[in-house]
Amino acid sequence: MSPRPREPESPPIAESLELAREGRHAEALAGLTSLLEKSGLHVQHRSTAAGALGRIARMAEQTGDLASAEQALSQALQIAPNYPDLHFQLACVQLRRQQRPAARRSLEAALKLNPRYVAARVELALLDAREGLLGEALQTFRALGEDPALSEPRAFQQGLKSLERADWDEAGALLKRALQVNDTRIEDAVHNYHALMAQGRPEHAVQMLRETVRRHEGYADLHCLLGQAELEAGHGDDAVASFARALELHPDYHAARVEFARALEAIGDLTQALEQVSLVLQADPHHPNALQLHTRWTRRQTRRRRTAIEGSKAS
């Protein structure tokens, strides 16, 4: 586990974080710069300030202000150069800005500090692949895949195949999932989704997730969440397409298949909906949601058939 900066405590840091939450990233950075330039700043305050700069960078990145995110992280590393997480976070921003040489240096710095930093090694291997070093990338991933605790061997093999055909986004998503590499940007999107849905704002959740999916197209979880938001917002056809994409990326994603069935039922295709929950039950006969839906929809189909037969007899 890479060491993380401590949570901010001083009022100036809290004020800078509040400015960043309001989208005022330049002012937030200016406030922290002023604090850090003061002579005699306690080492603990410098550590918490580095952590706050990392959080400001994440907020800036969420809104697409990549320049401010990079500036915040560069400033954080000036005062806390031994945090591999900050080097890794900076590398991710640099990759989004297409600054590959700089991103490579940042990833190598993170790995020098923590040679077992799997997330950094994964990003470096993906960067190798994009730059034509496919053999080196495959060698790295195969070494990582030798871990007996590999969570999803099938996803891992699918990821290697995607890598070989240069489908970088899909390969990255599958390999990260199999290697249990957490992406804080995805975690932030999931958090925002739940917050918006709890507020009864599914349309806003749809807008936010569509933008996130555009940047992280290979993540089945994001497509599934987008489908749920679209279904809640009444966009049944869009929801069907989102769940279908999630299943294309991850065929064994039972929760997504159940939601796919719900979306099919919502647009009036009960036959296909039943087929989808039947597929889930073939793999997991005790899946509670699939069982419940299968029972309910089977009864509905039986009633419809009975009504149709009685109607034909009456005529």
Q: What is the set of domains in the chain, with CATH numbers?
A: 1-94 (1.25.40), 184-314 (1.25.40.10)
- Residue 8 has what pLDDT? 37
| Phi, psi dihedral angles at 144 (to 5 degrees) | -65, -35
- Residue 139 has what pLDDT? 93
What is d(CA 25, CA 69) in angstroms, rounded to the nearest whole number?
A: 8
Quote the tokens at residue 291. Answer: 């069982």
What is d(CA 157, CA 174) in angstroms, rounded to the nearest whole number?
A: 9
What is d(CA 97, CA 245) in angstroms, rounded to the nearest whole number?
A: 27
CA distances from 303 to 74, 125, 236, 297, 309 (A): 66, 56, 25, 10, 10
Quote the tokens at residue 100. Answer: 């590959």
| pLDDT exceeds 80 at position 7 | no
Residue 284: CB partners within 8 Å, gap ≥ 6?
254, 290
pLDDT, tens digit (0-9, with 9 covering 90-100), for 301-310: 888 888 777 7
pLDDT, tens digit (0-9, with 9 covering 90-100), for 131-162: 999 999 999 999 988 877 677 888 899 999 99
What is d(CA 276, CA 156) in angstroms, rounded to the nearest whole number?
A: 24
Encoded amino acid at 22, one letter: E
Nearest alpha-carbon partner for 141 in 183, 176, 165, 111? 176
What is d(CA 127, CA 105) in angstroms, rounded to the nearest whole number?
A: 11
- Residue 1 has what pLDDT? 38
Looking at every residue in the chain, the average pLDDT score rounds to 84
* Residue 219 · residue 191 · CB < 8 Å: no
Q: What percent of the chain has pLDDT over 70?
A: 90
What is d(CA 68, CA 65) in angstroms, rounded to the nearest whole number?
A: 6
User: Is pTM, for the whole model, over 0.75?
Assistant: no
pLDDT, tens digit (0-9, with 9 covering 90-100), for 209-225: 998 888 777 778 889 99
